[in-house]
Structure 1
Amino acid sequence: MLDFFRNHQRLMMFMLILVILPGLGFVGIQGFRGFFDESANVASVNGHKITRAEYDNSWRQQLDRARQVLGGQFDAKVFDTPERRKEMLDGLIQQRVLADETQRLHLTVSDEALRRSLLADPVIGSLKNPDGSIDLNKYKELLAMQGMTPDQYQEQVRYSMAMQQLPAAITQSAFTPKTLAQHLTELAEQQREVQGLAFRAKEYESKVQPTDAQIQAYYDAHRDDFATPATATIQYLVLSPAALAASVNPSNADLKKFYDDNIAHYRTVGEVRASHILISAPKDASAADKEKAKQKAQEILAQVKAHPDQFAQIAEKDSQDPGSASKGGDLGYFSPGMIAGGKAFDDAVFKMKKDEISDLIQSDFGYHIVKVTDEKPAATKPFDEVKESIAKDLKTQLATKAFGDDSEGFTSTVYEQAKSLQPAADKYKLQLQTATVTPKPNGALPPDSPLNNPRFLAAVFANDAVKDRNNTQAIDVGDNTLIAAHVTDYKPATVPALAAIKDAVRQKVVAQQAADLARKEGEAKLAELQKSKSTDGFSSALKVSRNEAQGVPPAALSAIYKVDAQKLPAYVGVDLGADGYAVYRVNAVVPTAAADEKRLAAAQQQISSVNAQAEAEAYLDALRDRSKVKMFGSLETTQSGGD
């Protein structure tokens, strides 16, 4: 079918025109689209659609966050499950429900609260100037890279903060009684004295002698376990900013223009080093106090003018600035806006020359006498000094822009020129690479390698690629990366003949029969002990708790704590699967000391947090129940580009 579309594109386009245009005449463009709208949506809440694109973007972001946190341990298969996909959609629905309720209640956030939130953001905090203000140019550039203006971003943050008010009100009011916290803490820390008796599967392997018929039966029942995977030798292309950077070479004129357009980034602000003497006269001081302070400052100014070489000694004796007086009034190096004296202070100081002493300078703090002791003039880094870093930055920017411009064309070329990737490689100046892949990710490759992407591998091993030898579609694997492949050789999965792998099959049979034998003997021993109440053969007593398992397997620990504490001693058996079987004698509950106030308070807080989360979820579930929620189609059909 795909071949027919590819080979008869003009005919198919003509047929589509014949079908579509008459329909538009009857129902109009918007009406015609209505027939297909739901294919682009995954759900609606009170009439607000959640699009597949929105869902896919959220899915990619979740995978990218998991990849960043887990690094080399990230496994997309663990995350890409129907359950996780449903959780993602439930989360988006929950956000939409909460947004509707926020609007219904007309909740909003003040400008001051928004400002505090923005300044608390570590990314925005990194854009601060030395004087504590935000570099607005860098702030705008950062948002522009995400396709937003400052107003758009600030409204987004405001909206998000408003939405959190309802759940926050619930979680902040949650409370757990101290007695409940104490009871749960005692249960969590309760110790039980146990003794163990192990029936290890390994110890029974020497007693097992499987017959050829048993080996054959196991082989027949587990053939897929011994199959060698299918392999495909492929040519592939990767379109990404990094791949396109090789063909991006900005000219010297481009670099110079970038330098001139962004000259502020290469300038260092002028600085001075100065000392001052402060005679305090706060803004709210009385007129009489201000006049008295001014007279004193004038007297000191006269001393300084008469003995400029004694400025430090006079400052140490008379300055009322506790931060600098002990250092002879030294304020260190500073640029405009860094000293709290305000504009009047800056205007006066930055006009002075080295070793010059000012007249009285009045600020909100009082009267200053300033001596400039050193200067660092403003400087601009020359073009040649920053040319290399500009080339790197500009190359990255141009490559990112080229990716945005080329991604749609690359996708079309790969599809339309279906029998080879060479046309796409030539058009976009990409390197045609080769590899051999299997349907499952290769553990030897980095987890984030495009060749390990499950959707890409699924496309490689689809019939259209391995049988008809057509290019795969261009697969979006996240992080601004598209990959397409062409299969040049394919070897299907094969199951080796039993004769070739008989030893491996025999080992599997031995392990299985040994585990079965260990379990049977363990169960028989358990039945005997429950009658005899014997302690023969058991290990020495061990004290375990839910928090301190002392090496006891989780399944066994669970069984131990299911034993009725009023009917001890008691015996419990646990099937440990391939490891065999274990019997435990639970002797007694060990008395534990009451939790101290600090541990009890921590437990109370932790339980309150859990209760608060449960109450918030119950509230959101109630909101959802009274909302009109409609689901469209299956999540499996979405294009989860990051998986």
Structure 2
Amino acid sequence: MTKKAKIAILASAAVVLLVILIAVTPEIIKYVDENRAVAIVNGEKITKKEFSINYRSQIDYYYGLDKAFLSQRVDGKTYEEQIKENVLEGLIIRQIELQQAKKRNITLTAQEKKAIDEQINQYKNDSQNRLQFKQYLQTIGATEDDYKDQLIKLQIVSKLYNEVTKNQTASNSEIEGYYNSHKSDYIQVKASHILFKVSDPKEEAAKKKKAEEVLQMIKNGQSFEKLAQKYSEDETTKQKGGDLGYFRKGESGLDKEFEDATFSLSIGEISPVVKTSYGFHIIKVTDKKQLTLNDVKDEIKSTIESEKKQEYYKNLLEKWKKEAKIKKFENVLKSVSI
């Protein structure tokens, strides 16, 4: 091979190499940047990419990527700075939890991993959710693998929680004590109502007047149930004479004003006209009873154990965090944007 031919081949190779470098350099730069640490926890880093995914996800969910809102300042910091600090704090805690899970050999089973894959495939294959899922990944800057990684980590943390709190149980004496000190929470009423809906503020005076007229009819001896069938605008209950069935506080699906009025009534008593966000109501209590300890024992047991587990885990997290070696990189944190 002549000297000229060798030079030509080398020159061609150099051109090809240059083209390849030009093509891949942005990807290399992006990869290096995304893998910079926003924090290091016990020697393990939280990458800029992972932080960015979680930050964008929270911004998108709660604030709709509203840059004007994020730039507002409160107590010397912008909302953006405060949210970044909160997200980083959450990721630091999660990293500590994952490390604790690893110490305890807590991992996902093949079946649990399969369930996550099936969940993602459902998003991808469902005609209604497919485009939305794709847009969501683009918005938060994540791939499917990134998204899967987040789900895996969340489930491992959930298994850690279940493992370390499994001995936080409720004794019979604790259950009985809770019941005795919360008896008013376990009163059940059976009530009926007549509703006069207000969908426009202009209707309010007329609807209130009508409600007062019907209330007077009841006071004059007319049947509550028949008047409910005739005048109530609650289509679900009117044919049953306004009967809502039995419920406890927080179970009616109606406003606090409605429940406060209902639970203040005695059996057979009729309320005055009560205003809620739905409109105006006339309420009649047809029965009221105190649930027994046996009726609510399982519910109380679950409540006590949930509270005990949360408190126990909170104290564990504080201990683990205090023992952890944590280093944050504020310059990397500041470089993350939406």
Question: Taking structure 1 as the reference length, what is the TM-score of the superposition?
Answer: 0.25
Between Structure 1 and Structure 2, whose CA radius of gyration is higher? 1
Question: Taking structure 2 as the reference length, what is the TM-score of the superposition?
Answer: 0.42
Please identify which structure carries the higher helix content.
Answer: 2
